[in-house]
Amino acid sequence: MILDIKDLSVFYRSKKTYAKALDKVSFSLKEGEILGLVGESGSGKSTLSYSVLGLLPQDSKKEGQIIFDKENIFSLSPKKLEGLRADNIGLIFQDPAGTFNPVLSIGYQFREVLESKLKITGKDTVKKIIADSFDQVRLPDAERILKSYPHQLSGGQLQRVAIAIAISLKPRILIADEPTSSLDVTIESQIINLFKELKDKLNLTIIFITHNLDLVRALCDRVVVLYQGEVREINSTEEIFKNPQDNYTRELLVSLQELE
């Protein structure tokens, strides 16, 4: 058990009242598994990932516990939280173009991450780490890419760089928040297979957030179905598809059949 979420509720401040974003969410994450977090927009998928990273807004209200390494994330000091984000939990966002600063070169941004998070500055070490992680994500032509600016790369290349940066920190958990929904089909398929490869090679634990059940079937070991902030169903991918228990899960499966 690498991550254990117990009765997590999150409320966002809205003018005078609080809006409930998550409602008593509980599940746990096993080491080396890919867990799919499925739900439509507004179901609380992203809120959940921000909670795990301790990135919720200051004025939000939180209840329950998120236990990582026997410690509750909510009671960590800001400094420890920073450390947690540095090399324990990594995050990959949906829009790769929005992840990077458009006026800095890819190389600069990669080095900046290594310097600030891992305090690594030695030129050769940095070079080696970068080369290794580009290798892992199968990005050829590293020299050129490092000199490029974000707009000079395609969406698929940028997403690979984002993944390379995330895994260079050797995180124990990688949270991927809809990492392929802004990409083309052919690129999407390659990125999905890259995640599978990374899981096998590096024994990465991945939380894969998506609204695409189809992707879940192709990639995940277990699935958590979220609806309006509540967990509706947790089961192995096989069981969810073969034998859905919840009405909402069934509705999702019917929609999927409509579309393919």
Phi, psi (degrees; rounded to nearest 5) at 32: 80, 10
Among 14, 75, 186, 243, binds another protein (CB under 8 A): 186
Count of residues in contact with another protein, rule CB under 8 A: 28
Phi, psi (degrees; rounded to nearest 5) at 80: -65, -35
Q: What is the DSSP annotation of 219-257?
A: H-SEEEEEETTEEEEEEEHHHHHHS--SHHHHHHHHHHH
Helix and strand element counts for the chain (H, E): 11, 10
Rounded to a whole number of angstroms, the distance between the first and last alpha carbons of the chain is: 36
**Is 193 among the residues that bind another protein (CB under 8 A)?**
yes
Cβ atoms within 10 Å, residue 182: 17
Nearest to 193 by CA among 178, 180, 182, 174: 180
* Complex with another protein: residue 234 or 256, whichever CB lies closer: 256
Contacts of residue 136, Cβ cutoff 8 Å, sequence gap at least 6: 164, 167, 198, 201, 202
Q: Considering only the stretches 65-73, 85-93, 126-134, 211-219, report the one whose residues sit in contact with another protein under the rule CB under 8 A.
A: 211-219
**Is 247 among the residues that bind another protein (CB under 8 A)?**
no
Cβ atoms within 10 Å, residue 188: 19
**Is 137 among the residues that bind another protein (CB under 8 A)?**
no
Nearest to 161 by CA among 111, 115, 124: 111
CB of 247 to another protein, least distance (A): 12
CB of 70 to another protein, least distance (A): 36
* Complex with another protein: residue 124 or 260, whichever CB lies closer: 260
CB of 239 to another protein, least distance (A): 20
CA distances from 153 to 100, 179, 220 (A): 11, 16, 29
Among 74, 190, 234, 246, binds another protein (CB under 8 A): 190
CB of 140 to another protein, least distance (A): 7
**Is 259 among the residues that bind another protein (CB under 8 A)?**
yes
What is the pattern of x (binds another protein, CB under 8 A) and - over residues 27-66?
A: -------------xx-------------------------
**Is 14 among the residues that bind another protein (CB under 8 A)?**
no
What is the pattern of x (binds another protein, CB under 8 A) and - over residues 146-185?
A: --------------------------------------xx
Q: Which residues of this protein are in contact with another protein, per CB under 8 A?
A: 40-41, 138, 140-141, 184-186, 188-190, 192-193, 211-215, 218-219, 251-252, 254-256, 258-260
